[in-house]
Amino acid sequence: MIKDFERGIISFSDYLAEINVLDKYKEKYSWVKSIIIYHIPYSNVTYYDNYLPAKFAYSTDYHKVIKEFLEEEAKKMALKKYEVLVDVNFINEKVASYLAGMGSVGKNQLLISKRFGTFFNIGTIVTDEVFNYNKEIKEDLCLNCNKCIKSCPNHALDNGYDKNKCLSFLTQSASKDFKLYDNMVLYYGCDACQDACPYNKSDRDIPFDDKSKLNLEILEQIDDYKAFALDKTYNWIGHLKMLRNILVLETKNKNISKERIEYYQNKHKDVKWFYDHLEYLKNKLGE
């Protein structure tokens, strides 16, 4: 049950004046008058175990949790026509939050909230309801300390944000820049720049799901990965990327043999990006 959150409301017309929305969405959502934005925090306490995901994936898949919560909120507000949107939607959540005076974007391109720092997820409700909109002061919260920039092991923030160097992006992708994976410490996502942010104090411990502890032994025992990961945020990246991530960490920790890597290499030899990455890992073991 979500009890701690912050909320803001903006008019859809103000949002449209700020950002260009594709015509297909303008037509589909022509009935929308307001956007209600919610910031819902997750744990900013670090757990230590081999191996773990980023903090946003410590618990149950936030998409499902937030969607259920926002449906309840819509009923409480007696909204007649509305749609709940979480993560994948036509609304730029960071822009909407900024317009509502709920935060500003830091140098790591993450939204900073005075109350929650950067460790929170965003959900929105679009509705035909009209509200009295309070024009909030839009304060730039980034302290220009550059701690987030200095914290990134792949220098993804040195010249703006380069997602192709970002470990969070890489763990969810099939990149050929294998060397960039050498700095992984989490099997999914990355918290380096967030842990460095002065707004993030380690004081909010939200229930931890034991299924967040995942290693090669556990992965091998899973018969149906899709069913296992159904209620986890990492479910969408699929078994093969997850296996690659675990193998990267096993190699980094010198906890695997070349023969074991070759076993997985041959098992999935038809997937070139996977095969090539494991070839790189075999060479890493020989260094």
Catalytic residues, by residue number, are 87
Q: Which of 201, 259, 241, 190 is nearest to 45 (CA)?
A: 201
Measured between alpha carbons, how far is 145 from 262 in angstroms, rounded to an integer? Answer: 45
**Structure tokens given for 75:** 């009923």
